[in-house]
Structure 1
Amino acid sequence: MKRVFSFMSGTSITQRVLRGSAISGMGYFFSQGIRLASNLILTRLLFPDAFGLMALVTMFVLGVVMMTDVGLTPSIMQSKRGDDPKFLNTAWSVKMLLHSFYFVVICALAWPAAQFYDAPQLVQLMPAVGASLLIGGLVSPNIEHAQRHIRLGTVTLIDLASQAASVGSMVIFALLTRSIWALVFGQFVAAGVKAVLTRYYLKGPTTGFGWDKEAVHELIHFGKWITLSSAGGFVLSQGDKAVLGKYLSLEQLGVYNIGFFLASFPMALAENITGRTIIPVYRDSPPHESPQNFATVRRMRMGLSAIVLSMIAVMAVGGPWIIELLYDIRYQGAGPIVSLIASAQVPVVLGMTYPQAALAAGDSRSPSLLQMLRAGVQIGAFLIGAELGGLTGAIIGQMIAGWVLHLFIIRIAIKHRVWDPLHDAIFAIFGALITFVGMSHMLMTG
C-alpha cells in the first residue's frame, strides 16, 4: 500500500491522471449517492408531475446555456495562456456577460413554453431557475485552472459541498411545503455555495474583471466551434424530453425522467472523468509521438471502458429490480426504461475520448461537426423509432444510430493519430453482448 500511495502522489502525467481519475470517480460516486438519496426522499414528498415540470424547465435552461456555450472550460484547459491571470479574468468576464444573457432569454421563453406544453407554472418556474444562473456566473475561473493541472481534490470537495447544501435545503423545503418550489430553491443554494467556495477556498490567481483583446479573440476563435458542439450536445441530452414532453403527461414524463437518471449514471460518470482528465493526457502525451505514450493512453482507455461498460451491464440487466427496490409504486414503470436506455448507451463508450484528443490538439471544429451530426442523426432516429414503435422504438432507434455514428468518430481518431482498433474491437464485442442481454431482459420483464 505504501508503494501505491507513493506512486499515486507523483507528478508524472500518468500519476496525475490516475490520481485525478480516482478523485473524480470517488467524488462522482458520492455525488450520485447524495443525488439518489435526495431522489428517494423527494419522490416520496412530491408527486411525479413535479419532476415532469422540472424536466421541462431543465430542458429549456440547458438549451439556452448550451446553444450559446463558447467553451470557456476547454479553452482554459488547452490554451498556452491558461495560467495567465489576464486570460482567466477575461474568461470570467465573458462568463458573467453570458450568464446575464441566459437570464434574459430564459425569461423571454417562459410564456411561449408554458403555452406550447400547456404547463402554466413554467411562466414562474423558468425565470426563477434562470435567476440562479446569475449567481452561478460568480463561480471563480480558478475551478477551470485547477482542472487544467488535474488538481481535482478541492474541486471535488467544493462540488460535493454545494450539492449537499442544495439537497439539504430541497428536502427541508419539501417537508415544509410539499411544493415544486423546493426543487427551485435548491438551485439557488447550490449556485451560491459554489460561488463562495471557489472564490475564497480554491487556490489560484486572484479573480476580477478584465478584458484582454487577444484573450477575447482566442476564446471566440476556439469557442465558435464549441458553440455548435454544445448545441448538438443539447439535442442529444434533452431532445428526448423535448419530444416526449409534448406527447406524454407530466406524470409519465416524471417517471421517464427517474428511469433516465438511473440509466445514465455510468455514462455521466465517464463524461465527468474524461472531461476533467483526458484533455491534459492527450495534450502532454500525444499517442502518435511514441510507443510509450500510446501504451499509456491505451491502458487508461481500457480501464475506463471496462468500468463503464460493467456498470452499464448492471443497469441493463437489473433495471426493473433496481427500480422496484428503491422507488414506490408510482415509479415502477421506470424499470424497463432503465434497461433499454442503459443498453442504448453502449456504442457511445467506444469512442468517448477521441473528441477530447481533437480538443487537446486545438481542433474544436472536428468534434463540433461530429456533435452536430450526432444530434441530427440520433434525434431523427428517435423520432422515426417513436413513430414505428413508441417509446421502446425511439430508444432502439437511438441505439442503432449510435453504432453507425461510431464510424465517423473513428475518422476523427485517425485524423489525430489516436485510433486504437484493439480497444474498439474488444469493447464492441463486450458491448454487443450487454446490449443483447439487456434488451432480452427488458422484453421479458417490460
Structure 2
Amino acid sequence: MQSDSLKPSDLNPILPSLRRRIFSGGGIVMGGFGAGQILRLISNLILTRLLAPEAFGLMAVAISINIWAVMLTDIGIGASVIRSPNSEQPSFLRTAWTMKILRNFLVWVIICLAAVGVGLLSANGAVQADSIFADPILPWIMAAIAIQLPIDGFSSINRSLAERKLMMTRVVGLEVARQLFVMTVTISFALMGYGVWALVFGILAGSVFATGLSHVIFPGPRMSIMLVGDHFREIFHFGKWLIIASFFGFILNRGDQLLFGWMMESNAFSLYAVASIWVLAGTAVVETIIGRIFFPAFSEVFREAPESIENLYRKTRLIADLFVVSIAYGAFLLAEPVFSLIYPDNYSGVGYYVKLLAPMLLFLPYRLINTAALASGDSKGFTAVTVVGGTALMIFVPLAATYLSAKAAILTFSCIAAASLPVIWRLGKKFMKLDLIVEGRMIVAAVVLVLLLALTPQNM
C-alpha cells in the first residue's frame, strides 16, 4: 500500500526541487490571497457606503457576460505555455502572445454586439421589468467594461512562463499591486459621485496598469507579433476542446449571475451578487493554487515521473479538503452576524446568501483530478466534466426556481458540481487508483451542510 505523504524519494531524481517549489509557490499564493482579501474587505466596506446595492448587481451581470465571451473563445493559451515542451522557445511565446491579442479583440467585438442585443431586448419589453436586465444603463456598462479585453490582450505572455516555473512572487505581487491600484481609482471616482461608473473606471485603470507592468517585471523574450505555423497548430490542437470546456465551465461557475439576474428582483439579486463576491473569493484561492501551483506541478510530474502522480494527488487532496471544510462551515456559522456587523442596513441579507452558497466550496477539491487530466494532455476528458456540470445546471436550477423556491434554486446551484463526479472519477482512474474514503468525505460534508441550510429559516 502506498503512503499518502509525498516524499522526495517518491519522485524521479531529476525533480528534486519540485516539492520545495510546490510549498514555496503555495505559500506565496496564500500570502497574496490574504493581502488581496484585506484589500477586498477595505474596498468593499468603503464602497458599500458610497454606492447603492444596484451598482454591484449591474457589475455582476456585466462582468459575467464579459467572462462568458472570453471563455467562449478560450483555447488554453496560458495552459499551453505552462505544459508545452516548446515553451522555452521565443517563437512559441510570441506566437502565443499574438494569438491572445487576436482572441481578445474578437471577444471585444462579440461583447459590443451583445450589449446592443441586451439594449434591444430591454427596449422591446422582452425582460422582466424589475430585473437588472431591464436597467437601461446595463448595455453601456457592458460595452465600457469590454474595453478591458484588448488592453489585457497585450499583457506579456512571460507571465505564464513564470507560472510554468512556479516563480510566483512576481505573479502574486502584480495581482496585489493591481488590486490596490483598482481600489484607489474606484474609491476616488466613487467619492466624486460617479456611482457605478467608478467601478468601471477602476477595472479599466487596473488593466492598463497591469498590462504595462507585465512587460517589465516578468523575465523572458521581448514580445512581438509572430505566428509560426507549427506552434499555432500545437496550441490550437491542445485547446480546441477547451473552447467547449470553457463555455460549460462558465455556466457551471458563473451561470448563476445571468440566470438569477434574469429571474430575481433587482434588489434581491444585487444582495446576492455582493454575497457571491465573497464566496467566489473563497473559491478563487483554491482555484488559484490548483491552477498556478498544481497544474504546473502535475505537468512536470507527467513529463518526468508519471508514477508519482497518485501520491501527489492524495497529499494535495488532504490539504484542500481541510481548507474548504473550514471555510464552508465557517460561513454557515458566522456569515450572518459578521456581514450584519460590517455592512449598512440596506445590505441586509448578504450574509444569508453567503450561507446558501457555501456548499459549492466543498466540491472544489475534486477539480484536482480535472487538473491532473489536463496536465496529462487529456483536454477532451477535461471538457466532458464541464459539459455534464453545465448541462445539469441549465436543467435543474431553473426547475428548482420554477417549482420550488429561490432558496432551493440557490442550494441546487451550490451543489450542481456533484453531477460531474462520476465523470471526474472515471477520468481519474485512467492514471491513478482512487480511494473510496478520500473521494467520499466531501460528499458527506456537503450533504450535512445542505440539510442544515434547508432547516435554517430565512432571516432577512
TM-score using structure 1 length: 0.92
Counterpart position of 1:157: 173
1:443 aligns with 2:448: no
User: What's the CA shift string for 1:144-175, capped at 9, x where partnerless?
Assistant: 00001111001100111111101100000000
CA contact (8 A) 2:359 2:415 kept: no
> What letter is aligned with 2:119?
A
CA contact (8 A) 1:379 1:398 kept: no
> What letter is aligned with 1:356?
T
Counterpart position of 2:367: 352
CA contact (8 A) 1:317 1:438 kept: no
Counterpart position of 2:352: 336
Which of 313, 323, 326 lines up with 2:339 in the alignment?
A: 323
SS in 2 for 1:208: coil
> What letter is aligned with 1:126?
M
> What letter is aligned with 2:79?
P
1:90 aligns with 2:106: no
Task: Please give the alpha-carbon distance, in whole angstroms, between the structure 2 residues aligned to 1:236 and 1:294.
Answer: 27
1:21 aligns with 2:4: no
Q: Which 4+ residue blocks in structure 1 deviate beyond 6 angstroms?
A: 287-291
Determine what percentage of the aligned residue pairs are the same residue. Answer: 26
Alignment of 1:166-177 (within 5 A): 166-177=182-193
Task: Please give the alpha-carbon distance, in whole angstroms, between the structure 1 residues aligned to 2:265 and 2:103.
Answer: 33
Counterpart position of 2:46: 41
* Cα 1:71/1:286, change in 2 over 3 Å: closer
Counterpart position of 1:138: 154
User: What's the CA shift string for 1:355-401, capped at 9, x where partnerless?
Assistant: 11111111111111210111010231111111122221112223453
SS in 2 for 1:397: helix
Shifted more, 243-252 versus 431-440: the winner is: 431-440
1:308 aligns with 2:324: yes
> What letter is aligned with 1:361?
S
Alignment of 1:230-309 (within 5 A): 230-286=246-302, 293-309=309-325
TM-score using structure 2 length: 0.89
Alignment of 1:112-123 (within 5 A): 112-116=117-121, 117-123=133-139
* Cα 1:109/1:287, change in 2 over 3 Å: closer
Which of 408, 411, 422 lines up with 1:407 in the alignment?
A: 422
Counterpart position of 1:363: 378
Which of 178, 182, 203 lines up with 2:198 in the alignment?
A: 182
Counterpart position of 2:71: 66
* Cα 1:121/1:312, change in 2 over 3 Å: same
CA contact (8 A) 1:288 1:294 kept: no
Task: Please give the alpha-carbon distance, in whole angstroms, between the structure 2 residues aligned to 1:288 and 1:432.
Answer: 39
Counterpart position of 2:225: 209
SS in 1 for 2:359: helix
Any stretches of 5+ residues in structure 2 without a counterpart? 1-14, 122-132
Task: Please give the alpha-carbon distance, in whole angstroms, between the structure 1 residues aligned to 2:333 and 2:359.
Answer: 9
> What letter is aligned with 2:393?
Q
SS in 2 for 1:415: coil
Shifted more, 429-438 versus 207-216: the winner is: 429-438
Count of matched residue positions in the alignment of Structure 1 and Structure 2? 435
* Cα 1:154/1:289, change in 2 over 3 Å: closer
> What letter is aligned with 2:173?
L
Which of 391, 394, 400 lines up with 1:379 in the alignment?
A: 394
> What letter is aligned with 2:200?
V
Any stretches of 5+ residues in structure 1 without a counterpart? 1-9
Shifted more, 287-296 versus 125-134: the winner is: 287-296
CA contact (8 A) 1:298 1:420 kept: no
CA contact (8 A) 1:45 1:174 kept: yes
User: What's the CA shift string for 1:162-219, capped at 9, x where partnerless?
Assistant: 1110110000000012421101101111111111111012212222211110010011
Task: Please give the alpha-carbon distance, in whole angstroms, between the structure 2 residues aligned to 1:338 and 1:22.
Answer: 27
